Amino acid sequence: MTPAFKVVIPARFASSRLPGKPLLDLGGKPMVVRVAERAHLSGAEEIWVATDHLEVRAACEAHEFAALMTRSDHPTGTDRLAEVVEQRGWSNDTIVVNVQGDEPLIDPEVIIQTARQLAVSGADIATVAHPIHDPADFFNPNVVKVVCRADGDAAYFSRAPIPYARDHFAREAGGSSLPENFPAYRHVGLYAYRASFLKAYAGLTAAPTENFEALEQLRALWHGYRISVTLIDAAPVPGVDTPEDAERMRKLFDRA
């Protein structure tokens, strides 16, 4: 059974690599609207775009999606979600799924699965991972890895190659292959939160590991919050971070 949940789509207008990214035209609609349409297919009881720009709000409302104006100085998308929770007055047990505003092809089923994982696990946060099969991904610091406990909660996230197969890599110079049944998982940045966590988030100090790894989720682990991990079979369709990504996505929508 799928629990009731809300979706918030952070949509910051400024982007160093792709300014005005939420308004990128994809097949005649702004990218943020395409994301909201995918979120709508998940059956979320409410969908809110959280932005810092009037043009983004106007674009959403023109397509009948609700948008909230939020502060422009939020350091993270999580801080922006916390402001939405405060503005809307949501109760502590509300499940809030953070859907990134640059993923116009996100699978609605993964949104549902993440919300369900949070409800079933009783954790503070739920997120997503999938198995790593390519050694290049395993050793790539831009690919974030997660190691889980027996109960499915995250033990640690890292850009380092974890867990490390000592004997296998000693035999396979340069990490040319991964061992069979290797429990290596790539973290996918989709999160479901309990509103109680989002209300507490602004008061949490950064973890020492967070500063070095540049991974925001380590703050929650550092302070004892539970992050439950739901597994999917394969990587989702990549989002839009660069002009090259934007051109790739435009072509996909032009062909649709």
CATH number of the structural domain spanning residue 77: 3.90.550.10
**Is 48 within a domain?**
yes
> How does pLDDT run across 154-190, given as a tens digit for each residue?
999 999 999 999 999 998 877 789 999 999 999 999 9
pLDDT at residue 89 tops 90: yes
216 falls in which pLDDT band (50, 70, 90)? very high
**Is 159 within a domain?**
no
Q: What percent of the chain has pLDDT over 90?
A: 85
How many domains are contained in the chain? 1
Q: What is the pLDDT of residue 191?
A: 97
d(C-alpha 256, C-alpha 254), whole Å: 6
Q: What is the pLDDT of residue 202?
A: 87
| Mean pLDDT over the full length of the chain | 94
**Is 251 within a domain?**
no
Q: What is the pLDDT of residue 140?
A: 96
Domain of residue 67, residue span? 5-131+186-234
Lowest average pLDDT, out of 20-34, 52-66, 233-247, goes to 233-247
Q: What is the pLDDT of residue 144?
A: 97
Is the full-model pTM beyond 0.85? yes
**Is 216 within a domain?**
yes
**Is 161 within a domain?**
no
255 falls in which pLDDT band (50, 70, 90)? confident
d(C-alpha 161, C-alpha 253), whole Å: 35
pLDDT at residue 233 tops 80: yes
**Is 166 within a domain?**
no
> How does pLDDT run across 36-48, given as a tens digit for each residue?
999 999 999 999 9
**Is 61 within a domain?**
yes
96 falls in which pLDDT band (50, 70, 90)? very high
**Is 170 within a domain?**
no
